[in-house]
Amino acid sequence: MEWLIQQNVLPLSVVYVIVGKWATCKSAFLYEVFRWFAKFNGGAILNEVETKFSPDLCSSIMGYSSDEIKPIIVNRCTSCEEWQDMLTFYLKHQKRLMVGTQKDPGPGRTIPVAFGVDSVMGKAAEEAQKKVDDDGHGGRGFAIEALSIAKFMRASAHKFDNWPFALFLVNHLKEKKDESTGRVELTMPGGDFSSFQESFELHTSVWREKIDTEGFDGVGVRIKCKKNGLGIKNRQVRTRMLWWEEWNEELEEYQQKTVWDWDWATTALLYDLPGKYKTRLKELDFDIQFKSPDANVECFAQSKALGMGKDQWETFADVGKMIRENTEVMELLRTALFIKRRALMKGDYLEQLDTMLGEME
């Protein structure tokens, strides 16, 4: 992910768009992002617009919680306007909770919150729904939803500024054929409503339909950063989403466990890197070799920089873990791959921003 967005942190106060064709794990990737926020004592608020939210899939990724306080709030929305209303309400609500009152002050801007909409065009606008009810059928009409969303985004995107929040909008890619040229292009329904507000546009696709082993099943997912307002665009990564069943002693039943295999993705990235970055790694004395890199499961690598012998081969996932846990190697990779270092969120978000601005003066 650091390579993908060219940042060593996930920036806050910005808008992300996650887009892809049907069945490319867009929602599952959104739940994985929610897991990151929950891991750092934050949470997520999901406006579910497609009426297909899977609590089992979400829990298998974020983790099963028996606590009274859950790391996610889910709102089912029945129209384009309703997800906008819900987003507006909870944005104000979270701000009030953090600020508190003079008598009962809140914790300050210390809690990271992810706001998600899945998906922005999942339901028609109320006006369009009423017309279908009146007519008894669907028909051709003007872009009610696109206009509504565009106006909402222009009026709302700035409300995330200076808060430890991030907005994640899910949308679908559809194929559209140009009748004059015959060329097939990918388009997003709803128009370019988010183009001027989004900082990152992440496209998902599937590079391997099925991963089937004795220990787990899975799918290979490719993520491409089509737009990057803070760095280089069009970087991409291959990763894997894997799942299996684990026995729950307390419930006396199996529960699904789903993970995004970022350690595997790290090693795969080093194999897939463009030539100039591989040259930089060699110049910085980082070496890595690969064995069966295109195999379905058994991909191996070895690196002297990680203290491995020439005959020691480990799986992509194990090598990726060794890299992640080696601070010196991680810093070397960030330098070679031109990944920008940003400040980690510490304490009150606004106070930290003010301090950083003061240091720049």
Residue 46 has pLDDT above 60, yes or no: yes
Domains within the chain, CATH numbers bracketed: 8-196 (3.40.50.300), 275-361 (no CATH)
Residue 155's pLDDT band (cuts 50, 70, 90): very high
- Tell me the average pLDDT across 98-121: 96
304-319 pLDDT, tens per residue?
A: 999 999 899 999 999 9
Q: How many CB atoms lie within 10 A of CB 65?
A: 12
Specify the higher pLDDT residue, 218 or 127: 218
User: How far apart, in whole angstroms, are the C-alpha atoms of residue 19 and residue 203?
Assistant: 5
Contact in structure between 257 and 244 (CB atoms under 8 Å): yes
Of the candidates 129, 115, 7, the one whose C-alpha atom is nearest the C-alpha of residue 80 is 129
User: How far apart, in whole angstroms, are the C-alpha atoms of residue 92 and residue 190?
Assistant: 26
User: How far apart, in whole angstroms, are the C-alpha atoms of residue 113 and residue 45?
Assistant: 8
Task: Tell me the DSSP string of 127-140.
Answer: HHHHHHHHHSS---
User: How far apart, in whole angstroms, are the C-alpha atoms of residue 319 and residue 297?
Assistant: 14
Residue 128's pLDDT band (cuts 50, 70, 90): low
188-244 pLDDT, tens per residue?
A: 766 665 666 899 999 999 999 999 999 999 999 999 999 999 999 999 999 999 999
User: How far apart, in whole angstroms, are the C-alpha atoms of residue 110 and residue 41?
Assistant: 9
Residue 250 has pLDDT above 90, yes or no: no
Contact in structure between 230 and 5 (CB atoms under 8 Å): yes
- What is the value of pTM for the model shown? 0.93
User: How far apart, in whole angstroms, are the C-alpha atoms of residue 117 and residue 86?
Assistant: 10
User: How far apart, in whole angstroms, are the C-alpha atoms of residue 247 and residue 160?
Assistant: 41
182: alpha, beta or left? (left if phi > 0; alpha if psi -120 to 50): left
What tokens does 232 get? 């280089």
Question: How far from 201 is each of 30, 105, 158, CA to CA, in Å?
Answer: 13, 36, 18
Residue 277's pLDDT band (cuts 50, 70, 90): very high
Specify the higher pLDDT residue, 158 or 126: 158
Beta-carbon contacts of residue 178 (< 8 Å; ≥ 6 apart): 184, 185
pLDDT, averaged across the chain: 91
> What pLDDT, on the 0 to 100 scale, is given for residue 245?
97
> What pLDDT, on the 0 to 100 scale, is given for residue 85?
97
